[in-house]
């Protein structure tokens, strides 16, 4: 048989082979469809959305991202940044970024600044800076328009204080011409004078603790205040009782003499101001034992009062977190000043009359410009309440005593604390400068008063003798005596032997 005769048989075998293959493909396709159908029915395959993956679109997106990255890097390289590291840090700080990261060098810092500018953009950085500045403006002290009487008072204080400031500065310039050796000799003499202090008299002043004492401007009289509500006037140095002022029904916290009382002021005029724990403030003359006027308006305790150097104004502090300024000639309150977050405890006026310092239970002190109403210095550093404040006669040093047992010396020119005295073992209840500001006297609840000398504010003398905490201290204007008032119901007079 020829090959041609076998061809139909081969063809028939191939057909059978192909037919078997087709049958298997049909079976596999059927089983695959059954598996997909089962998967769809089981919820494992979601065929409802009909989403498809477009490979070309994905590649296009990647290409766009790479191009954007290349553009960003090109933009970063084109950004000009200062090579001065201080300027770079300042610019980072202005944008609210840390000025230095761990292990970062000047070059890395410049690159970080470039990246910051490139990412955020110039316009966004400007907006961020404006928002930060706006937020800072919102946190600053705000002011509202006061009455016409306050404007007149501010103008009057400016006209009064400027000549006095000029006179004080002229005296400071003259003192600067004095040789240093002569100034040191004067300081040493003053220190020897203070080291010889001793108690020359002691007197039981009342049946209850003596809370405050102050010398009259002529140094011939001492006024004491008591928790019994009585104010008593004593002759100096004999301690003869002159007069008892009755009018308060609660603890008297402070006494303030008019700057010209016992000098040029008539005894029938208002010469003394006092305050008490019930919020009452009373005015007295030197002829009557009864108050001649009451200052009303305080709803909380008034711990301290102070006369303005002119004698026209009276400052009062209050436990309602504010202090007030009263015009005694107009007989009205002209300023109700807030600013402390807690009770305002102490107040003192600068000798020129232009500035006022206050201390509060919030542990902060503030210096106010009476001519503008602005707080020109914020004294932050004490850990507890500021209970005493006093201006130095030089016009730029301020002493503050605190419940944290320390005394701080502040310099108005630097607007900073220049010295901290670890003064006592208990809270400091009073501070007082003497002379030109080279001597400071402090008193405390540790039953002592101490004398400190500048420069260095070294301890010179400890005035010990009271059996209870010392509530107040004062230095006579003629600088011959120091008086201390105590919780043991006595007051003492100290003078050089």
Instruction: Give the Cα separation of 207 and 230 in Å (integer).
Output: 10
Rounded distance between C-alpha atoms, residue 472 and residue 254, angstroms: 9
Number of C-beta neighbours around residue 156 at 10 A: 18
Residue located via tokens 């553009």: 71
The number of residues making up the chain comes to 497
Phi first, then psi: what are they for 284, rounded to 5°? Answer: -135, 155
Helix (H) / strand (E) containing 482: strand 482-486
Cβ atoms of 489 and 205 within 8 Å: the answer is yes
Q: What does the alpha-carbon distance between residue 120 and residue 114 come to, in Å, rounded to a whole number?
A: 10
At residue 25, the pLDDT reads 52
Topology annotation, domain 148-496: Methylamine Dehydrogenase; Chain H (2.130.10)
Please state, in angstroms and rounded to a whole number, the distance separating the CA atoms of residues 217 and 236.
Answer: 12
Closest CA to 401 of 467, 438, 357: 357
List, for residues 152-193, the tens digit of each pLDDT value: 999 999 999 999 999 999 999 998 899 988 888 888 888 888
CA 399 – CA 254 distance, rounded (Å): 18
- Model confidence pLDDT, tens digit, residues 75-118: 777 677 788 888 888 888 887 888 888 888 888 888 888 888 77
Burial class (CB in 10 A: 0-12, 13-18, 19+), 115: middle
> For 234, which DSSP code?
E
pLDDT at 65: 81
Q: End-to-end distance of the chain based on CA atoms, in angstroms?
A: 160
**What are residue 245's DSSP bridge partners?**
231
**For the chain, what are the domain ranges?**
69-76+86-132, 148-496
* Burial annotation 430-463 (CB, 10 A radius, 16+ → b, else e): bbbbbebbbbbbbbbbbbbbbbbbbeebeebbeb
Q: Where are the beta strands (DSSP E) in 344-396?
A: 344-349, 355-360, 364-369, 375-380, 386-391
Segments of the chain scoring below 50 in pLDDT: 1-4, 7, 9-11, 14-18, 21, 48
For residues 234, 238, 239, 241, the Cα torsion angle rounded to the nearest 10 degrees is -60
Structure-block tokens of residue 294: 């009451």
- Residue 457 CA, chain-centre distance (Å), reads 24
pLDDT of residue 142: 55
CA–CA dist 304, 276 (Å, integer): 8
Contact assessment for residue 279 and residue 273, using Cβ atoms and an 8 Å cutoff: no
> pLDDT at position 255, please?
97
| Residue owning tokens 């997106």 | 61
Q: How far is CA 379 from CA 136, 251, 410, in A?
A: 20, 29, 8
* pLDDT value for 184: 86
Residue 306 CB partners (closer than 8 Å, separation 6+): 256, 314, 315, 347, 348, 349
- Indicate the pTM of the whole model: 0.72
Q: Collect all residues with Cβ–Cβ distance below 8 Å to 10 and sequence separation of at least 6.
A: none
- Give residue 317's Cα distance to chain centre: 17
Q: What's the CA gap between 92 and 100, in Å, rounded?
A: 9
| Count of helices and strands (H, E) across the chain | 7, 28
Rounded CA-CA distance 103/91 in Å is: 19
């Amino acid at each position: 048989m020829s090959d041609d005769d076998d061809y139909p048989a081969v063809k028939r075998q191939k057909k059978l082979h192909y037919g078997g293959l087709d049958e298997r493909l049909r079976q596999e396709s059927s089983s695959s469809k059954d598996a997909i159908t089962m998967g769809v029915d089981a919820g494992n395959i979601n065929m409802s959305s009909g989403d498809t993956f477009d490979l070309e679109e994905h590649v296009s997106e990647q290409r766009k991202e790479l191009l954007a990255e290349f553009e960003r890097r090109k933009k970063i390289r084109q950004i000009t940044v200062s090579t001065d590291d201080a300027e770079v840090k300042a610019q980072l700080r202005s944008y609210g970024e840390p000025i230095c990261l761990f292990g970062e060098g000047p070059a890395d810092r410049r690159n970080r600044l470039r990246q910051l500018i490139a990412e955020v953009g110039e316009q966004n950085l400007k907006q961020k800076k404006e928002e930060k500045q706006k937020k800072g403006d919102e946190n600053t002290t705000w002011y509202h328009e006061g009455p016409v009487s306050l404007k007149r008072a501010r103008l009057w204080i400016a006209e009064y204080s400027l000549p006095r400031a000029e006179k004080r500065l002229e005296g400071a310039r003259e003192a600067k011409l004095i040789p240093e050796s002569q100034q040191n000799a004067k300081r040493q003499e003053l220190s020897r004078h203070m080291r010889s202090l001793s108690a020359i008299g002691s007197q039981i002043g009342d049946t209850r603790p003596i809370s405050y004492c102050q010398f009259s401007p002529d140094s011939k009289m001492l006024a004491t205040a008591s928790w019994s509500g009585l104010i008593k006037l004593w002759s100096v140095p004999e301690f003869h009782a002159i007069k008892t002022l009755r009018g308060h029904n609660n603890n008297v916290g402070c006494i303030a003499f008019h700057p010209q009382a016992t000098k040029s002021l008539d005894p029938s005029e208002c010469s003394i101001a006092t305050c008490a724990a019930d919020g009452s403030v009373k005015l007295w003359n030197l002829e009557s034992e009864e108050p001649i006027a009451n200052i009303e308006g305080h709803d909380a305790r008034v711990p301290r009062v102070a006369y303005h150097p002119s004698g026209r104004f009276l400052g009062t502090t209050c436990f309602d977190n504010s202090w007030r300024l009263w015009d005694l000639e107009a007989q009205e309150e002209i300023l109700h000043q807030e600013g402390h977050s807690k009770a305002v405890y102490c107040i003192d006026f600068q000798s020129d009359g232009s500035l006022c310092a206050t201390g509060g239970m919030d542990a902060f002190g503030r210096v106010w410009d009476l001519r503008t109403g602005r707080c020109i210095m914020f004294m932050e550093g004490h850990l507890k309440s500021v209970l005493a404040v006093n201006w130095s006669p030089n016009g730029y040093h301020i002493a503050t005593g605190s419940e944290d047992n320390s005394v701080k010396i502040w310099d108005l020119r630097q607007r900073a604390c220049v010295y901290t005295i670890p003064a006592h073992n208990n809270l400091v209840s009073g501070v007082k400068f003497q002379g030109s500001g080279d001597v400071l006297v402090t008193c405390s609840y540790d039953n002592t008063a101490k004398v400190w000398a500048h420069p260095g504010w070294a301890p010179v003398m400890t005035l010990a003798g009271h059996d209870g905490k010392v509530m107040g201290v004062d230095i006579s204007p003629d600088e011959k005596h120091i008086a201390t008032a105590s919780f043991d119901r006595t007051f003492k007079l100290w003078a050089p032997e």
